[in-house]
Structure 1
């Protein structure tokens, strides 16, 4: 695993229940601000193996990015079970639910 990938996995694991982070935010914290798409690939390929809370990661607009119905619904249900309100179109209020790790936390 590359250092960037290790950082991404660590960051995703650290997202608390009831909070979300964006792909770009994770990329920035992991050391590569322009690598949001790489975060998507890491989530896609490593979520099961590393038991990542993939459902806590959303796009920059606070939207669930998944298009496939089953995965989309699973993400909505998982977030709602943690107390995150998911609005129409899969939109989450980032001002309310976005997690900002404390400096030096990761």
Structure 2
């Protein structure tokens, strides 16, 4: 029981630290739409308010970058990803957004 409380404490502390770090950076938040999600094809589309190029990083649940691309359009090829849950971070014009992506 003690171990569960300790784990929850560390998880909560880590989450708060990550939020504070983002707030201090002051980069702002981009608005994106990620579809289809869950993804069943080899491509997902990342739509944003701006037509500017964007940097896309896909992380596995351990925080490891498994895919990184610089996109000028909306299509991201995900054929190298195995089925699972990922976090997609999009940076565009000094702003960023993070979304969950499920690949089937």
Q: Which has the higher strand share?
A: 2
Shorter-chain TM-score bucket reads: under 0.3
Structure 2 length-normalised TM: 0.27
